[in-house]
Structure 1
Amino acid sequence: MASFPAVLQSEWTKIRTVSSTIWTLIAALVVTVGVSAGLCAVFNATFKDMDQAQQLTFDPTVASFAGMTLGQLAMIVFGVLVVGSEYSTGMIRTSLAAVPGRANFLLAKLTAATGLALIVGLATSFLSFFLGQAILGSHSIGIGEAGVLRAVIGAGLYMTLTALFSMGVATILRSSMLSLGILMPFFFLVSPILGAVSATRKVAQYFPDQAGSKVMQVVPGGMDSAAAPYGPWGGFGIMALWVLAVVLGGYFVLKHRDA
């Protein structure tokens, strides 16, 4: 049986030699930083036009992550491709023949991909923050202010968990197209719509994206966000539980079903 370090090296080689996975991570960084910078410029130019309530609850930290939604899209695609590409090409049979220990195989794949997602996620969050604050000018906030460093690190961790959540879903469904067909509508249609409707908001606030994104906030209720019955790290913990559930589900499917 192959040792875990050898399997981990193999999974790292797979990821770095597939151009589509690398380009999705580059897209996550570039799109998030670029869109966030553009929106910060808009916030700075229109700040005086905001009503008093909006000015008082303006969260410059969240503003610097305004492009996170599009960056999240790239992280979802990355997570799905890391797992789903082997199923679509049929290489999963070869991989499992080389690494019969399915727990080792899945753990190595998730570890390699999550480590890379974490590096890109943190680089994205820090670049977005510092560039955004430079553009916001007099409306900016320093990273040393209360809660700001937590929010910046949390933004990087949020992107990382988004990728890991997508890997878990792809492992369960064993199909890139099906996984994207479920994750995209959920993150970009179902969750935002249910979160905007008062009748369903109490349920939607426990969805992984809505709970996890609270870790990026510094001003409670800022930027017209809805109040939640949990704090920043509480929301992040809820997202982590969702991720754990889908990863365990993926392992169960991998262990009990043929490739």
Structure 2
Amino acid sequence: MICVFDRKQDYFDLAVRYKSLFLYFLLKDFEDNWCSPPKGVLTQLWINLLAEILATHFELRIAAQILLVDLLTQLHSEMDSFPTLHDVSKRLYKIAYIEKSFNKEMAIRLKFRIDGLLTVLGSATSSKRQVSWQKLIDANWAISLAGLSSSVQSLCVTIYFAKILLYRICNNLRTTKLESFIVLDEASQLFPKTSSKKISLLLDYFQQARAFGIGVIFGSQTMNLAPEIFGNTATKILVGGFGHGSDYEEFGSA
């Protein structure tokens, strides 16, 4: 499997030319329910991880993460299918403005951030249709993240990478062979040297990926990359040069 997170639609023409070998998704067509775990992944495990990812992205306290876990767990027990972020937003409204619970302020902040995310991503996060991750694991595909801010692009990469990784972990697909490649171009925009906690969570996933046959290819035009990227990269290739003498020294010592 080759999976490309295409930040600027640079791979679109390539995908069209080799469409029999390569699937290309625009984000609006990649309808996924972020609250739904991949096949073989325990629901509560995914709920806990999703809540951590979202709370980290929203830069909210641990209380928001706990509230999100409780809401997702409760909604899942009440519904015949997995809840969506739209369902979470509706329940947060009830908590904040109808029930007047002690979680009111946290519910308002969490709802505000989720609603903002839904405005930007829409059905890409909250579709009732579930993406077949077990099929995508065996396919070559790319998803366009063009037009999104670097922060939202990073969140999308974190969610989708977590689903791929957890699918392989929970289905016991540990292997010493590289069976999947994740391609991240313009990586310096997602993983700058001054990386935040948001990025460190994704870097943790990258460090676990190798044991389950997942390799990551980072492309960048600058050396403005988090040191963890170089520390966990076995093969480094310099093509053309970066343009700054200090960059060559840094690359040579990485």
Higher helix share: 1
Q: Of Structure 1 and Structure 2, which has the larger fraction of its residues in strand?
A: 2
TM-score in terms of structure 1 length: 0.32
